[in-house]
Structure 1
Amino acid sequence: MVRPSARRATAVAALLALCAAGCSEPATALPAGPTPTGGVGATAAPPAGPSPVPAARAGLGGRPSPSARPCTVFPADNVWHADVSRLPVHPRSAAMIGAIGGGTVHADFGSGRWEGAPIGIPVTVVPAGQRRVPVTFGYAGESDPGPYPVPPDAAVEGGPDGTGDRHVIVWDRAACRAYELFDAHRSGAGWRAGSGAVFDLRSNRLRRAGWTSADAAGLSILAGLVRYDEVAAGRIDHAIRVTVPRTRTGWTWPATHSASSATDPALPQLGQRLRLKRSVDLSRLPRQARIVAEAMQRYGLVVADHGSAWFLSGAPDPRWDNDALHALDGLRGTDFEVVDAAGLMVSAGSGATG
C-alpha cells in the first residue's frame, strides 16, 4: 500500500522505534495491517518561544495574559531541547547517512502558497475554553480519545481540499496542550482522522511503546517545527523534524512507533538523531537560513516520518524570506552525521534527559 505521504513526497521531489536511543538492531516489528503515519513535511507550525504567533490563524486566541504561566513546548530538560553538539558519532553513521542519500536539504516551509495552500504544517492556536468536539479515528486503538478543541475552521495541512497527510495541529496554550491529528477531515459537528494524539507540553511523558501519534514516530509534530518567531528572536532551541525515504523496523528513543518492516541495518530508525557537522561553515548563509543551520549543529534533526530525503518541517508564515530559506539547499546529506543519543536517556518512557 502506498501511503499518501509517500505519494506526496514523490510529487514534491519531481517538482523541485521498542528500541533505546541509538539502538543498533531491529526492535519491535511493524504491527499487522496498514500503519498511520505523519506527513512528508509539506506544511508546518508556530513557535515554542515565550510569545509565539499563530502560523495559521493569526490573532486567534491572542497572547497569554502577563500573569499566565508561560507554555513552552515541553520542559527545558526534554530530549527535543538537548544539546547534541558534543555527543559521540553513531558507529553506523556513515551507512545510515548513505542510506538516506546525499541529496540537498530542503526547507519544506515558507511564505506564500504551494498548490493553493500555505507552505508548511499550520498550527491553529485556540483560546482558553475552546469548545471540544467529537473526533473519530481510523486507528482508534493507538489514538487518544476525544473530544478535542478543534474549531470548525482549523487549518489543515495542504488546505481544505488537500490530498496529502492533512495534519491538523491545535495548540491550547492556556491548558498547555497540543492536539495533533493525521488525515483530518470535517465530519458533522466534529472531525474524523486516521490517528490523533494529545501532548501535555509541561510533561516529559512519552506515548505508550508501539503507539503512533499524528506522526509515524509517535512523537509530537509541533515540537519539531521551525517557527518564524524563534528565528526572528535569533535562536531555535530544539531539534528539527526531518523526513527520510526509508527506515528499518523498530524505533530509537524517543520515538515509540515503527512504520517499516525493513531489516537492513544500514537504514536509520524513526527517532534517530542526526547532526549537521561542526566543520560545515555557516558564515555565508543569510540570517534566516543560518539560524536554522545553527540549530541543526547544536540540537540536530529527529527522523520523524517517511518522505523526501532531508526535508525540514516548519510552520508557514508570511514573514519568511523564501530566497533565504532556499540557501539551505547548499547543504548536502554528506554534511550530516548520526549521533549516539543513548546517554541522554533517563527512562524509556520519558523524554527527560540526564
Structure 2
Amino acid sequence: MRIAIAGGGLGGLTLARVLHRHGIGAVVYEREASRTARSQGGMLDLHPESGQHALAEAGLTAGFRSEARPEGEELRILDPSGHTLVHHTPRPGSFAGRPEIDRRVLRDLLLDSLPGDTVRWQHRLVAAAPRPHGGYQLTFDNGETAGCDILIGADGARSAVRRLLTTAELSPVATLVELTISDADRRHPALAELVGPGNLWCVGVSRILAAQRLGDGSIRVGISLRADQIDSDIDTYRGKHAVLSLFDGWDARLTALIEAGDSAPVPRRIEAMPTGTRWESRPGITLLGDAAHLMPPVGEGANQAMLDGAELAAALAANPADPDTAIRAYEEGMFARIQPIAEMSARVQAMMLSPTAAEDITRFFTRKSAERLSAG
C-alpha cells in the first residue's frame, strides 16, 4: 500500500506521523524547498478536542507541552478609542484551555517525529491521473513523476487533488493585511505592553486591527476587512499610508501598531469553500484540511486539519486490507463533523466584520466567560 500525501502542512504531517506509529509508511510531497524556506505564520491555539487530541494520537503531547505558551491564550479586546471591552486571562500554566504554540515550532515537532526520508521537499504536485489498474500517477513541477496506490490531498486552499473529486469553487470572504514588529520588548515596549502575552483585537465598524505576541518576542499585526471593503487593486494596500487611512480617527496608540511594522504591509484575499461541500467517494483518493473544507480563519482550520489526519490514519490502520472502505468511513465522519464547524466559522467571520462587531463580540465573549465559570 503505497501512500502519497500531497502537502507537508500540519494536517499532512499529522497523518504521516500517526500512520508511522501504526507501522504504515507514507511519502509526503511538499512544494517548499526546505522546512525553513518560508515563514509558517503566527501562533496557533490548539483545541483539546481536535488539535491536542491529534497530537495525543501522534504521541507528541509531551513535546507540545514543553513548547506551548498557555499565557498566549490571554485576549484583550478594545474599541477604536482604546477602551477595554473584554480582557480574558487564562489560568497560569494551565493546558486545560487552548494554549498557543508557534506554527513553525509545531511543524518542526511533527517533522522531527518522522523518518528522515518521509518528506520529499521541492515537489509541488501539478497533476494526478488515475492509472488503468488502480492508483494514481503523479506529476510534479520539477518534472519528476511517481506512482501511488492511495493519494491524499493535504495540499491546501489551491489543492491540485481536489479537482479529481469536486468542482467546488472558492469564494472571497475577507481581506487580510499583515505586518511584523520584531524584538518588540526592546524596540517598542509600549506596544509590547499594549498587546500583552497573547492576542489583542481592536474592533471597529466592519474592520479589526489585531496583534499577536509570538514566541520569539515579535508581534504579528493583522488588519481584517470585508472582501468588498477595499479597492479591486489589492496592491494599493502594500503601503502603510493606504492602510492607515482605513483607521482615521482611531486612537494613535492603536494605529502605532501599523506604523511600527518592520516592512511594507502584505495584503492577501481570504477565501472559503461552500459550507457543506461533499464529494462522492472514489477508490484510493481523499482530501483533508483546507483541501477538503477551507473555512474562514477563526481558529478552526489547522485544528480540524490535524484531526482529519489523525482520524484518516486511524481508519487506514484499522482496515489495511480494505483502504477504500476505510476512506469512505473517514469521509462520512469528517463531513458530519465539519458541517456545523464550517457554519459556525462563517457566522463568527460575519460577526467580527459586521457594523455592530464591537457589541456582538463583547456579548459573545461575555457569554463564553459565563459558560466557563458555570462549567468550573
Answer whether TM exceeds 0.5 for this pair.
Answer: no
Which band: TM-score by shorter chain? Answer: under 0.3
| TM-score using structure 2 length | 0.26
| TM-score using structure 1 length | 0.27
Larger-Rg structure: 2
Instruction: Name the structure where helix makes up a greater proportion of residues.
Output: 2
